[in-house]
Amino acid sequence: MFNSQFYTMKNLLFIILITLNSCNMFGQDQSSKKAESKNVDTTNIEKIILSEEEWKSKLTPEQYYVLRQKGTERPYTGSLLGNKDQGTYVCAGCDLPLFKSDTKFESHCGWPSFFDEIEKGKIKYVKDSSLGMVRTEILCAKCDGHLGHVFDDGPNPTGLRYCVNSLSLKFVKD
């Protein structure tokens, strides 16, 4: 006999594992050696430091969950995933420019993907060993907001895929 709640949780876990596997993020060391080599000095960026209450009043609950609590939006739900307009993607927490639209590409993983950052030093790279995986987390260098992760399976010229939550970005049209 199975408890129906247990069976539902088991199915949900299976769906999550399939999603992670389809994005090439489960069961293997995904720490990005290319991205780690890009980790440059970010001390020239003026930091923004706010209390948790100030962040909560500045951000929506969903943005707070992603940017401050290192959450992840569900795949294929982000408002910027299908955006094809020309412009700049900035941090939703502090407006620091992070990516240009001409570096965005369709990776079919469910989150906006870019092959390069807008400028060296705008993104911090941190080893992330959570959830039984080893990945490279990307953070905004100005506010330390969680953006997503970077992987070594992107297109030329960098070979990188910056997999970013839409909730951690705002788009500024040219």
Query: Shortest CA distance to 34 belongs to which of 171, 172, 153?
Result: 153
Instruction: Check if 163 is active-site.
Output: yes
Distance of CA 143 to the CA centre of its chain: 14
Write down the catalytic residue from 23, 94, 109, 163.
Answer: 163
Separation CA 39–CA 171 (nearest Å): 24
* Residue 164 burial (10 A CB sphere; 0-12, 13-18, 19+): buried
The upper half-sphere exposure of residue 57, i.e. CA atoms within 13 Å in the direction of its Cβ, equals 4
Enzyme catalytic residues: 163
